Chain A
């Protein structure tokens, strides 16, 4: 039985040039014949003029849909919102100005309701005087007769004003009267049918079961049907088709693969990538956010919540981990780590990107223009821009190298492992302390306290010798100083000197003692330490004492104790961040210092770092010990524990490093809020007037906060009074299922964008989504895919090609190219290679060597092992400067900026991918092995294999073609068995023993051709 689409519907004969709707074709390439253009133009004209620009041709004129677009396109450039470029002080975007006679040169208003004679606009658009006619010839914009007639009817009927169509409140239009036709099963179908009837079109017959099953799978989960699910569907559809479809839809919507598929769209909008961008393009751990998005789609998080958590999850009361992760949406902005960059410049750039992206994604408007000047077409002034910018200008991130603030997100295993290690570390530290205490007394007896006899400072600020024989520095000191302390040195032999840095109080009434004299940073830096011996009673010169090595209680990173005696005045010993503890440094002398009679030891302690990082209290000890350890950690009973403690530190450090740290949004504390000023001409170096935060006046929100923050902004985006978000989202979802939105310019709902083909349907969908389904994506999808409109056949016949070449009226199902990710996933799925693993760090499937060549980055592409090679495309590592090549070839982008829609192309490079990319070669071999197992003779194998791949039975003509190929390929490889071996080498697939390499290679030429089939690359 032939039941699939292509057999039950009339065939199209290919014979004329007209067969190709050139318009569609020409989108892909600028190369096309001039001759056929005329034809195209001829048939496009009537079809496009009967478009939504006249949705109610018989009824009242809709200002927003019919009149404002004409004024915007032809007049706003000089008579619009941008005051700087406004001519004759006339605004045609403003009713008052347009209808006012004040200041008008001929005493006539531009538009006088109900009177063409008194409307200056009317005479100007008809003038033949080049100085009078509007738009002026220099604007190169000419009104068509149809447009002039519309303006006439509008003025005559009273010139009722309104707002731009997309800013008008959502409305429930009465259901169209066409609905007596049983095809109009759902409101969607009723609206679509109305458009079809207006254009003398009929809906197409329903798609066959196979096509519909594949379409639903690809649309809802981005994967083809499995053979068993396909069989089940086709069988149950015979019993009750509607029921079978509903079951399939519900099942698909509940699969985890649903989120993996739909998240892709959102990640394009969120400019998600695994690197930071710009020159170095260093790695960044963003993937927990990607997993959050997948999870949000799978759990069908309502879109209002989805919105608020991503824009301002951190500002919600008791924000959860998940809500903080969500805010990474706006931390995917580029960060510039190039040497010599001004962090503020790129912080500002990131904040502007957040503003632009927010308005783009939710409102379908472009705010970017208003960075430098007021918008020429839409009501967004420069001040509006920077007042909205002020809301986003208060987060802590600042284009820093470390990408802070970040949020550590340990896995369960990491969390428990870390807890275990930290526990162990605590116990070890306790026993270490105990062990140290035990030996301290023992060690202390090797040291004798040195008695200071004099203490002076280079600065002459006082140094006081206290009763405990320590030397205390008065806090009133300059930036830098050098202490010179003379110590009584009894006769004896000395091998070691010890300097203790002790806490002291600046004055007795102080509550806290501190280590350094600078209260803000009680660190010290000993830049140079010298000891010299001054024999008493003689006039000889002080004799320098050489230091061989030293050891410290603690050394600040980059400021080791070696720095204190290495003759380099720039290096030194410091102890941050351990300012709260007391410290010691032990200096081992090069030669034993033999003192035959009492002498003086002079310690010269230079502290020339600056910033008053000076010692507060110092004490010196001497030792002559030769053998015994002089510090606790060298004592055998302590050493073992100390080593263990260090190892634990290392393991904890490594584990902490391995925990993903996701950049998130964090609001600045109220004490350090930024002041926002207008950037004149868009330059942050040229600040203008200060502005306070405020939401753009695109609609009147239900609740207008006084000083809006990000949370208020997020709520504003989903405010019940906001008509844009539900329209933009409903249109975006529609576009995923029909290949194009009801508003084609998904990215622009402003004056310059295209108009909806089905405005009532768009509003109906928007209200279904927001109100009926309470922002549930799954419910809206279910509603749409259960409509007759969605379930039509895609066959394009001559009549439809002539009247509806681009399928504006939905007279059939649109056939459109699958996304880069789906093409890859599908190849892996039908070859049985696809991994089911969900989430986690990005993976690196095979790509050609040597592609990653960032200028100053050592990051490397290391092909992932085993099943990670075969993960879904959404998990592929996304490097902005070098995106995964095969996906880039299929129109995936660099994700540097928000991408509202990908424009599909058809290029020879795509052919090279499916034919030659090792990923596809491997899939073709796996497929060949699989096909071989699906039957015992060639024809059965072809039949079953083909049906697995294309999700439909094979035609006889197709069998003949494939048999022909396998026959030729078999002969070829029989003559070149070494070629077959070579072809298969390097692909570690488990091969059926009964399958020779010649036979397998021959089958692989068949599967390779199938993987490249146009049908496989297209959504049916």
Chain B
């Protein structure tokens, strides 16, 4: 390599280093107002806006309680009546028709709403110091009862999987809106230097809502969730092509960077510097992503805690452990999808199977984060897109979709612990005490992240869009 090249390289290294510094340290809450000014969304008017930026609705007003999120999305709609919401009265009225006044205007997906009531299939008992009633098929979640905040009065608008999932994740039944993770990333940036800021892990089936569940909608694709795959390459195209080792890949990237720098000198387009940086990041990601997926450094005790049987094989348990590893590396938002809960039939056996698969790893994640001192500034959310009917579907072993009352729990910073919020009626039909709509849940999540959900907005097609649309109230009673 010529000395001119070396000099140039050194000079650029200094410059790049500065950019790295800027990039990593520019992240954070204070950056948001500025980002809005510079995002170019409304350039002709941005000058008019400058004075207002201090009051910009996008600027957070308070210190966040949590810095990162794991959203364990139990897709397919877990049955709250077998898991979280004890209904002795429903057991007593097993086989009877539901009270007719409940059925007015009721929309079920498949069944005739006027179907017999079906008693819960499993027993509940008080768990932890707090005495939270939980199902016998969730023994491990029972062990963390004192750490979680359970909401038994969730409500949604949609009764079909795809629309309900995207409502839960994007605040709208219409496609095209950014997901909760994207909003989070848009608002907070990421602290991960060599991993994406928003990572998605999937077990069981693909989700009904598809990529829109973690998409960026109209936000730049920078904010989209990046699915990490459990088999093969964790990130698409992350492996070198066959026969290419890191040494030769490095040679190619170095030459590429040199050529790009020559162009940068001559053209002066700042985009080129950003491109050079992208290749460096990509190269880093090629090492960091496989390292992340390799559980060799985890102790047997940890693997056992999560119930990871095979460290290489994809499973919900492995994803929970990977979530913790991602958080440790500065990833802002991790979302786990596990679509397995659509028990229209074979309820007794399948809901138990699903509990067996998810109970221990979910609890382990909480225990592990707590042990590492990370739970206090992390938010873990566990829930699906709606619940299931107190009425039977088919013979005597199934439940249909039900959006009027279901359960979701959260744990982590800023939340009450060992707390139950809201409740459904004696049959589990309607949320009657302190109903929490999906928009309220999302408003609360943003609140914990330091945002006023009405002010985290993005101007698109002439409108300031937000995650909660025109709805949402922070659920104050669950805040610590």
Chain B residue at minimal CB-CB distance from A74? B48
Bound Cα distance from A995 to B38, whole angstroms: 52
With A14-B265, A912-B285, A957-B262: A369-B463 Cβ-Cβ less than 8 Å: yes
Q: Which residues of B contact A340 (CB under 8 A)?
A: 108-110, 159-160, 400-401
Q: Is the CB of B256 within 8 A of A1013?
A: yes
Contact stretch, chosen from B49-57, B357-365, B406-414: B49-57
Shortest CB-to-CB span from B390 to chain A, Å, is 17
Report 28 cross-chain contacts, Cβ distance below 8 Å, ordered by A residue: A6-B263, A12-B267, A14-B264, A17-B18, A25-B270, A30-B31, A30-B35, A32-B34, A44-B47, A45-B50, A53-B44, A279-B209, A341-B160, A744-B44, A745-B461, A752-B463, A754-B44, A795-B268, A797-B268, A906-B274, A909-B236, A912-B238, A917-B236, A960-B5, A962-B255, A968-B251, A969-B252, A1009-B255
A890-B272 Cα distance, complex, nearest whole Å: 16
With a cutoff of 8 Å between Cβ atoms, the chain B residues found around residue A144 in the complex are 47-48, 50-51
0/1 string, A942-980, CB within 8 A of B gives 1: 000000000000010110111011001100110010011
Residue A130, interface by CB 8 Å: no
The answer to whether A815 touches B240, judged by C-beta atoms less than 8 angstroms apart, is no
Further contacts, 16 of them, CB under 8 A, given A906-B274, A918-B241: A23-B38, A26-B35, A27-B38, A27-B40, A31-B31, A140-B52, A747-B462, A754-B45, A881-B211, A903-B218, A905-B222, A913-B237, A915-B252, A973-B248, A979-B244, A1012-B279
**What residues on A are CB-neighbors of B241 within 8 Å?**
916, 918, 921, 983
A353's nearest neighbour on chain B, judged by CB, is B174
Whole-angstrom distance from the CB of B76 to the nearest CB of chain A? Answer: 9
Q: Does B275 contact A (CB under 8 A)?
A: yes
The CA of A341 and the CA of B232, in the complex, are separated in Å by: 36
Which residues on B sit within 8 Å (CB–CB) of A806?
A: 40, 43
- Closest B residue to A968 by beta carbon equals B251
A748 contacts partner chain B, Cβ-Cβ < 8 Å: yes
Convert B398-424 into 0s and 1s, putting 1 for each residue whose CB lies closer than 8 angstroms to a CB of A. 001100000000000000000000000
Number of A residues near B (Cβ < 8 Å) is: 149
Question: When chains A and B are docked, how far (Å) is the Cα of A911 from the Cα of B15?
Answer: 21
Segment at the interface with A among B20-28, B89-97, B119-127, B302-310? B20-28
What's the least CB distance linking B185 to chain A, in Å? 8
Q: Does B42 contact A (CB under 8 A)?
A: yes
A340 to B109, CA, bound (A): 4
Within 8 A of B (CB), among A321-355: 334, 336, 338-342, 349
Query: Nearest Cβ in chain A — how far from B62, in angstroms?
Result: 16
- Asked if A714 is an interface residue, CB under 8 A from chain B, the answer is no
Whether B282 lies near A911 (C-beta < 8 A) is yes
Contacts known (A26-B39, A32-B38); A336 close to B259, Cβ less than 8 A: no
Instruction: Given A140-B55, A140-B57, A894-B175, verify A30-B32 contact (CB < 8 Å).
Output: yes
Contact of A916 among B26, B35, B43, B237 (CB under 8 A): B237
The residue on A at minimum CB distance from B12 is A14
Instruction: Give the distance to chain B from A881, nearest Cβ to Cβ, in Å.
Output: 3
Interface flag for A182 (CB, 8 Å): no
Choose the segment among A35-43, A102-110, A516-524 that binds chain B (4+ C-beta atoms closer than 8 Å).
A35-43
Of A44, A366, A685, A965, the contact of B46 (CB 8 Å cutoff): A44
If the complex has contacts A801-B268, A986-B242, are A20 and B46 also in contact, measured as CB distance less than 8 A? Answer: no
A1008 at the interface (CB under 8 A from B): yes
B140-148, B200-208, B321-329, B428-436 - the one binding chain A:
B200-208
Query: CB-CB < 8 A to A558: which residues of B?
Result: none
Q: State the 5 A-B residue pairs at the shortest beta-carbon distance, nearest first.
A: A340-B109, A983-B243, A853-B206, A881-B210, A48-B47
Interface string of A884-917 (1 = CB under 8 A from B): 0110110100101100100101111111110111
Instruction: Using CB atoms, name the residue of chain B closest to A22.
Output: B38
Where the two chains meet, the residues of A that have a C-beta atom closer than 8 Å to any C-beta of B are: 6, 11-12, 14, 17, 19-34, 36-37, 40-41, 44-45, 47-49, 51-53, 69-70, 73, 140-142, 144, 146-147, 277-279, 281, 334, 336, 338-342, 349, 360, 365-366, 368-369, 377-378, 685, 744-745, 747-748, 750-757, 794-797, 801, 806, 808, 815, 817, 848-850, 853-855, 880-883, 885-886, 888-889, 891, 894, 896-897, 900, 903, 905-913, 915-918, 921, 955, 957-958, 960-962, 964-965, 968-969, 972-973, 976, 979-986, 1001, 1005-1006, 1008-1009, 1012-1015, 1017-1018
In whole angstroms, what is the CA distance A24 to B241 when docked?
34
Are B208 and A279 closer than 8 Å at their CB atoms? yes
Contacts of A1013 in B (CB 8 A): 256, 259-260, 263
Establish whether residues B40 and A23, one from each chain, have CB atoms under 8 Å apart when the complex forms. yes
CB neighbours of B251 from chain A (8 A): 965, 968-969, 972, 1005
Rounded to whole angstroms, the CA-CA distance of A891 and B24 in the bound complex is: 24
Q: How many angstroms from the CA of A907 to the CA of B278 in the assembled complex?
A: 6
**Is the beta-carbon distance between B205 and A855 smaller than 8 angstroms?**
yes
Q: Least Cβ distance of A362 to chain B in Å? A: 14
For the complex, what is the distance from the CA of A918 to the CA of B243, rounded to whole Å? 13
CB-CB nearest in chain A for B455: A140
Question: Contacts A338-B160, A747-B460, A1014-B263; is A911 near B278 (CB within 8 Å)?
Answer: yes
Among A25, A277, A334, A756, the residue within 8 A (CB) of B274 is A25
Residue of A338, A964, A968 touching B161 (CB-CB under 8 A): A338
User: Which residues between 222 and 266 of chain B lie within 8 Å of chain A, taking CB atoms?
Assistant: 222, 226, 229, 231-233, 235-245, 247-249, 251-253, 255-256, 258-260, 262-266
Give the residues in chain A near B242, CB-CB below 8 Å.
Answer: 982-983, 985-986
B439-480 near A? 1/0 per residue, CB < 8 Å:
000000000000000000001111100000000000000000
Range class of the B interface residue count: 35 or more
Task: Provide the residues of chain B in CB contact with A918, threshold 8 Å.
Answer: 241
Task: Report the bound CA distance from A342 to B106 in whole Å.
Answer: 13
Contact (Cβ within 8 A) B243 A981? yes
Point out the residues of chain A lying under 8 angstroms from B51, CB to CB. Answer: 142, 144
Known: A31-B22, A40-B38. Contact between A917 and B162, CB under 8 A?
no
A980-B274 CB under 8 A given contacts A853-B205, A912-B282, A915-B249: no
**Cβ of B281 < 8 Å from any Cβ of A?**
yes
- Cross-interface CB contact of A796 among B41, B163, B260, B268, cutoff 8 Å: B268
Q: Are B270 and A21 in contact (CB under 8 A)?
A: yes
Q: Hey, which chain A residues are within 8 Å of B52, CB to CB? A: 140-142
Chain B minimum-CB-distance residue to A985: B242
Interface centre among B21, B275, B461 (most CB of A within 10 A): B461
Report whether A14 and B47 are in contact in the complex, using a CB–CB cutoff of 8 Å: no
Chain A residues whose CB sits within 8 angstroms of the CB of B105 once the complex forms: 685
Please give me the residue from chain A that is nearest to B239 by CB atom.
A916
On chain A, the residues within 8 Å of B267 by CB distance are 6, 12, 794-796, 815
Q: Check if A1014 sits within 8 Å of B260, measured CB to CB.
A: yes
Once the chains bind, are B243 and A752 in contact (CB under 8 Å)? no
Is the beta-carbon distance between B252 and A1014 smaller than 8 angstroms? no
Residues from chain A with a CB closer than 8 A to the CB of B25 are: 33
Q: B2 contacts the other chain (Cβ, under 8 Å)?
A: yes
**B22, B186, B267: which has the most chain A beta carbons within 10 Å?**
B267
Residues from chain B with Cβ under 8 Å of A801 in the complex = 268
Please tell me which one of the listed residues A26, A41, A983, A1012 contacts residue B256 in the complex, with CB atoms under 8 A apart.
A1012
Chain B, Cβ-Cβ closest to A848: B236
**Nearest B residue to A1018 by beta-carbon distance?**
B271
- Bound Cα distance A796, B268 (Å): 5
> How many Å from the CB of A952 to the closest CB on chain B?
11
- From A366, A848, A1009, give the contact of B232 (CB < 8 A): A848
Q: Are A36 and B459 in contact (CB under 8 A)?
A: no
A340's nearest neighbour on chain B, judged by CB, is B109
CB distance from A162 to the nearest CB of B (A): 18
**B269: interface (CB < 8 Å):** yes
Neighbouring A residues of B243 by C-beta, 8 Å: 979-985, 1001
Residue in contact with A48 in the complex, picked from B46, B108, B265, B274, CB distance below 8 Å:
B46
- For the complex, what is the distance from the CA of A362 to the CA of B467, rounded to whole Å? 28
User: Could you say which residues of chain B place their CB within 8 Å of the CB of A34?
Assistant: 26, 30-31, 34
B353: min CB distance to chain A, Å: 18
CA distance A157 to B266 in the complex (A): 50
Q: How far is the CA of A165 from the CA of B52 in the complex (A)?
A: 24
